[in-house]
Amino acid sequence: MKKEIMNYETLLKVTHGCVLSRDPEETALLIVEAVKRALDMKGCALFLFNRKTHELEVAASMGLTQEYLNKGPVSALHSISASLKDGPVVICDVADDPRIQYPEAAKKEGIASILSVPIVVREKPLGVLRVYSATLWEATLEDVNFVQAVAQIAGMALEMSRLYKGLMDSIEILKEKRDPKAFQPKGWTPYEGIPKSIGKVGPISQQLQ
């Protein structure tokens, strides 16, 4: 099967799965698995940006060991930082690139190259989608565009999941006639929560600040 056809079918699969899923963790897992398989890479991971700590925290991964994932805090300021602000970044050789925060851990994991693409929602960085290759890899424009397209779908899907969670919690408040200030909603991912006061629900970009 031609690579172009496979990537097109992957986009259809990811879009269909994200539309059906209301669970952000399930959505994130679907995305990393689809990208890894489509590009036939060692691994893929979706990170969410924690604005309080300025760290990138793993929301889902495929093909990477727990040892590598637990290597230490991933700083958004030191770990391929340009990909969060300026756009896609290709690291052709992790062993010889100062933008890698943990080069020794990457070498031990068997990672040779990394493609990092931002996940943006309403012009606000939500996180990054990273693809890991076991061999030296010069990502083509087609590869970068494909991962960018998936990252955009991921951003929209995670936003939809978050809004859906907020809607369900609002309905629960109305049903139980609770005081909104006393209601503690469930988080939509391990790292982000929806607004604690229903009166404060606003645009998603404000919630990420």
Residue 58: strand, helix, or coil: strand
C-alpha closest to that of 158 among 129, 131, 126: 126
Core vs surface per residue 171-202: b (16+ CB within 10 A) or e: eebeeeeeebeeeebeebbebbebeeebeebe
Angle at alpha carbon of residue 34, lines to 30 and 37, rounded to 5°? 140
Cα–Cα distance measured from residue 181 to residue 152, given in angstroms and rounded to the nearest whole number: 34
> Any residues with CB less than 8 A from the CB of 4 and at least 6 apart, and which?
142
* Whole-angstrom distance, CA of residue 142 vs CA of residue 45: 19
Query: Taking the model in full, what pTM does it have?
Result: 0.73
Residue spans of the domains in the chain: they are 3-162, 164-207
| pLDDT per residue as tens, the chain (209 positions) | 456 556 667 767 777 666 666 677 888 888 898 899 889 999 999 999 998 999 999 999 999 999 999 999 999 988 898 888 889 999 999 988 999 999 999 999 999 999 999 998 888 888 999 999 999 998 999 999 999 989 988 888 877 766 655 545 555 555 555 555 554 554 444 444 444 443 444 444 444 44
In CATH terms, the superfamily for domain 3-162 is GAF domain (3.30.450.40)
Q: What is the pLDDT of residue 181?
A: 54
> What is the per-residue pLDDT for 182?
52
